[in-house]
Amino acid sequence: MAEEESHYFKNVYENSFLNHFLYFAPTAGYYNLIANLLTELSTYVLLIHFPLVTAYGSLLIILIPLFFILFKDSYLFKNDKEKFIGSLIFFITRYNKRNCKHFSILN
């Protein structure tokens, strides 16, 4: 909650929608468009529910690929066993820049 209050929550009330949506946190080093959008949406609820909107909104965004893996037809995952393994791989693996040095676009 401290990061939300000190950066995004303060910025959402001081700026317009477009200025807040394109807010750049210097400590992060990138545009965090999802957090900016979720904090903008959280202005429509009570202040006490502000962290819930950002937390559950982030959870929903994380679960969208899982929904597509499990419930949509795919050429990659043909049966339920493959879909289950694919969803496990999605949650177990994580991006690590140290292990991806062979991708020149990431360096």
**Length of the chain measured in residues:** 107
d(CA 63, CA 84): 14
pLDDT band at 43 (very low <50, low <70, confident <90, very high): confident
Q: What is the pTM of this model?
A: 0.66
What DSSP assignment string belongs to 84-95? HHHHHHHHH---
Q: Can you tell me which residue has the tokens 């690929």?
A: 65
The number of domains in the chain is: 1
Average pLDDT over residues 102-106: 43
Residue 11 forms part of a structural domain? yes
Residue 103 has pLDDT above 60, yes or no: no
Q: What is the pLDDT of residues 61-77, one digit of tens each?
A: 888 988 999 999 989 89
Q: Residue 53: name the closest of 40, 38, 34, 64 by CA.
A: 38
Residue 107 forms part of a structural domain? no
Residue 74 forms part of a structural domain? yes
Domain residue limits at 86: 2-102
Q: What is the pLDDT of residues 6-39, one digit of tens each?
A: 667 777 777 777 777 777 777 667 777 888 888 8
Q: Residue 42: name the closest of 3, 8, 71 by CA.
A: 8
Residue 69 forms part of a structural domain? yes
